[in-house]
Structure formats: C-alpha cells, structure tokens
Amino acid sequence: MIDLILKGQVYLFLIVFVMMIAGMIKDNNLFSDVFTFLKRSIKSNRAIVAMFSALTGILPIKGRVTVSAGLLDTMAPKNKKSREKFGPIDFMSTHHYYFWSPLEKTVILPMAAFGLSYGAFIGIIWPLLAMTVVYVLSYLIFAVKDKDIALKNSKQKIKISRITRYVLPYLLGVAAIIAGVNFLWAFGLLTAYYMIVTQTFDFKKLIGYVDWKIVAWVAGIIFLSNVVRTHTGEINSFLQSTGLDITTTFGFIAISLLSFLGAFALGSSSRFGAITVLLTSIYGMEYLPWFFAVDFAGYVMSPMHKCVAIGKMYFGTKLSTYGMILTGWSTLLIATAGVLLWI
C-alpha cells in the first residue's frame, strides 16, 4: 500500500520548484531583455514571430496566454485582417509545450505514472511533436506575411548581463533535464539561484507561488494510476464485459469518444493529462500517443478553455478561424496517432 501511495510522487517536487521559479521570474520581469534583444537582432519579421512563438509560453504559469498576447500585441498591426492572424499564433505559441516541455504537467504525469525518463517519453510522443512543429511553422510561413507584422522599435536599453544572469540559467536548467540530469538537483539548485538573485527569502511568498490544488491533483492521479496498473487485468475484464473492449471496433470508437468528451468537458491541461494517463494505464503503453492526441484535441476544442477568449479579446480573431485552425491541428495529430497504432 505504501508503494502505491509513494511511487512516482517525487515528481511533485519538480512541479513545486517550477512554480516557485516561474513566480519569481514573473514578479521581477526577468525575461524582458531577451525579447527586446531578439527584435533588434533578427531581420526577418516572420523569424522574429517564430522565435517569440517558441519562447513566450516557456513559463508554466497561470495566464501565460495573456503574457504571450501582450508581447505579440507589440508586433500586431492596426489593420484588422492582419491583426486577426495573431490570435492563432498566440494560442499555438503557448500550447506546443504540452508535447515536450519537462516542466509541463502533461509531460510530468506520464513520466511519473509509468516510470519513464524524459528521453523515453519523447521517444514515444515525438511523432505528435513533429507534426505540431510542422503545423505551427506552416501557419507562420503560408498564412502570415511580413506585411502582416508591424514591429515597433523599442527604446528599452538592453543589458546582456541581465540575459546571461536571469534567462540563461533557466534555459540551462531545462536543457539539463532534457539531457537526463536529475531534476531534483537541476531545479532545486535553480530555485535556490533565483531566490538569491531576486532576494526572495520570504518563505510565505515562495509558498504562495505554488498552486497546491494542482499539486494535490497530480498526486492523486499518480496514486490512482498506480492502483489501476496493479489491477489492470480485473479492470480490463470488467470493461470487456460491458462491451468496452478496445480490441473491437465498437469498443475502440466508444472509448476514444468518451476520452475526447471527458477532455472536452473539463477543458484543463492537467485533467486531459490525467485522462491520458489513466486510460493508458488500463490499455497499455502502445495507446499513449493515441489517447494523448485525442485528449489534447478535446482540450483545445473545449468551450471551457479560456485561451481562445483571451486571444479573441486581444486580436479580434473570429471563433470560426480558431475552429478551423484547431480542428486542422487536432485532425493531424489524431491521424498521426492512428497511423502509429496501425503500424
């Protein structure tokens, strides 16, 4: 019983460290110089937008789509038609991280539940990540033109020392986890580093950066996954007796539809990650890319998902435009996952 409770829970420390670091960076506006530097250093407007798309959502904080929208708004023109194109950029720039960032709950949950290293997780999910990169870049290349981007010259003074002092350590921390360094060492030390450089020694303030509801939710899902994996045989037998046998066409469609509808109804990244983990625990690791793609599609299409409303408010992007682009992205992912299952 103790093993069921504790197995994989060490990953909760990573979530706590990440939230503390993100809080300190946000409160002290530590990343502002790097965006100004990029705008002055890169000549191609679309290349700058692509770089912003890769960087703006890197902090796993609440409301980061608003942070991203604020930054992209500095590049959006007044022309309504051109401005509308920035809504999907804002959305995609803050949602590709769910496929690869070792700081995201959607990556941490499968790693914790199945005892996967980061490299092993990417080894399973990389086709979905590759299709996401292709889709995002295709939108930037074919839908957005240089004339759609209105870069404003910033008068803010750039201090390279601030970039090396505040931004580089964070990127090195992420790179360390990707390279296989123990995350407790990497982000434990990084938390201590940002406490020192920001002079944040107020324990109450640090604890305040942590969303304990999310930590408790993740802990519960890891425990539930441990229980499910221990009783996979009994659960499969019960589901087969109800007609939900994933090896049959009806069962496969029914389970996939229920999975999609669950993520659609909840509209939360941590909850779509939870559904993916629980169903993979029941049906096997070969279904991880499938349920990840189906549940991600339900999540991004959900009316409970606030990111579309935020982008619409900033850029005036039509809901029909969002619907078309997100449906295309979701369809590509599900088709890719389907091919993986088939082969």
Whether residue 326 has pLDDT greater than 70: yes
Q: Is the pLDDT of residue 76 over 90?
A: no
What 3-state class would DSSP assign to 59?
A: coil
Burial 139-176, CB ≥16 within 10 A → b, else e: bbeeebeeebbeeeeeeeebeeebbeebbebbeebbeb
Place 214 in a pLDDT band, splitting at 50, 70 and 90.
confident
Q: What is the mean pLDDT of the segment spanning 127-131? A: 96
Q: Where are the domains of the chain?
A: 2-342
pLDDT at 153: 58
Q: What is the mean pLDDT of the chain?
A: 85
pLDDT tens for each residue of 299-314: 999 887 778 888 888 8
Query: Which of 275, 291, 282, 280 shows the shortest CA–CA distance to 230?
Result: 282
Compute CA distances 79 → 24, 87, 154, whole Å: 36, 14, 20
pLDDT at 57: 64
154 pLDDT above the threshold of 60? no
- pLDDT of 221-280, one tens digit each? 888 888 887 777 787 777 777 777 888 888 899 999 999 999 999 888 888 999 999 999
pLDDT at 59: 64
pLDDT bucket at 291, cuts 50 / 70 / 90: very high
- Contact status, residue 72 vs residue 46, Cβ threshold 8 Å: no
